[in-house]
Amino acid sequence: MKSNGWIIELTEFTDPYCTWCWASEPILRKIKELYGDQVKITFKMGGLVDDIKTFSDPSNQIGGETMFDQIADHWEEASSIHGMPVEANIFRELKDKFRSTHPANIAYKAAQLQDKELADKFLRRLREAAAAESKEIHRTEVQLDLAKEVGLDPKKFLEAIESGHANDNFLEELKEVRSQGITGFPTFKISNQKGEATYLNGFRSFEVLESAFSRLSNGKELKKREIPLNDENIINFIRKYRKVATQEVATLFGISKKNANDYLVLLEHKNHVKSIKAGNDFFWEIMP
């Protein structure tokens, strides 16, 4: 879906290691599918954990010597609510290897310096890898592999990190995020071309975001695409994004996760799609 320019800009203040940002992925994809270029989606890195030694999250009972077990439990509990796949055991295994989420934030900025569109695809791969594939996305070698997967030039990517250029960009963005008083993720800023904006803190449903779009559209009609539930549209959705979670199909078509899984299993039996085990659930790809 094309338009003569965006009407609404949706900015997600985020971190690649944030579970509720992972939870928001189905909603962002639904917005893209229904509104296309009318809603411009951008990401700002918020640096969730500067130093794990001093980090605490009292609202989620995270802190102290058993922090990594608490984080794993939090991811599992969150997954039972938001429906996206997680492999929480990686957080128990990270105890002696992990210090900060900032390297993953910096990696996104390195990708963005090279290609903004590929950078957003890279951010999605960072999220998938951290949440459901037991990959340590704070490590440069893992970041390089994921960068190659999405088509980034690995030499330029590494150069942006090693030169400090990506870090400088991240620190500048972090200053901008902090200046707006944002410390929790995701936080959404919804704005129009007049500069009018509203902020929504925390995970939000598609309907809540859509309502904010309507309030800020200044009478400009957002043309909403209709996508009926059928085999062809599910297959096209998976083909477009190459890999989707069960919950993303459920969210796009407004059905339960169980019903989405049933549809996907039938498509797998017809050899249209294949399932890939992902932590406590599955990703789905088009059958080769």
Q: Which two tokens stand for residue 175?
A: 């200053």
What is the reported pLDDT for 4? 52
DSSP string, 100-156: -SHHHHHHHHHHHHH-HHHHHHHHHHHHHHHHHS---TTSHHHHHHHHHHTT--HHH
Residue with tokens 């704070």: 138
Q: What's the whole-model pTM score?
A: 0.95
Report the candidate in 125, 132, 41 with the shortest Cα–Cα distance to residue 78.
Answer: 132
Contact criterion met (CB below 8 Å) for 46 and 59? no
Mean pLDDT by 10 residues, the chain (288 residues): 75 97 98 98 96 79 81 94 95 85 98 98 98 96 98 98 98 97 96 96 97 90 95 98 98 98 98 97 96
Asked, as a colleague might, if the bond just before 16 is cis with ω within 30 of 0, I would say no
What is the reported pLDDT for 2? 42
What is the reported pLDDT for 255? 98
Q: Please report the domains of the chain, with CATH numbers, ordered by start residue.
A: 8-179 (3.40.30.10), 231-286 (1.10.10.10)
What is the reported pLDDT for 132? 97
